[in-house]
Amino acid sequence: MFAIATFALTQSAWTTFVSTAICAVTIQVGYFAAILFIVWRDSGNENESTERAEREGRSQHAGATEGPDASSSRPMSTISRPRR
């Protein structure tokens, strides 16, 4: 859509190509930065919850030492849900 609109406004294939390439790179850089921010924010939350569990004397992964099939028998309350 960007390329079509640019070509309709400028009537120049070269300007359309350059503008579209700049737009595509800008979108990708913004997407990459957003993903890095989300990962950084979530890793900070995970570290805080781990530290809080250690202060309270609990292990964050209680079923980790119970064996390979322990994850399927854990209650639903121990499974973390994504935050919105």
6 CB contacts (<8 Å, ≥6 apart)?
Answer: 15, 16, 19, 20
Q: Helices 2-10 & 13-55, crossing angle to 10 degrees?
A: 150
- Structure confidence at residue 31 as a pLDDT band (50, 70, 90): very high
Overall average pLDDT of the 40-65 stretch: 69
Enter the pTM of the model. Answer: 0.50
- Which 3-state string (H, E, C) describes 18-48? HHHHHHHHHHHHHHHHHHHHHHHHHHHHHHH
Which tops the pLDDT comparison, 32 or 44? 32
Question: Is the pLDDT score of 38 beyond 80?
Answer: yes
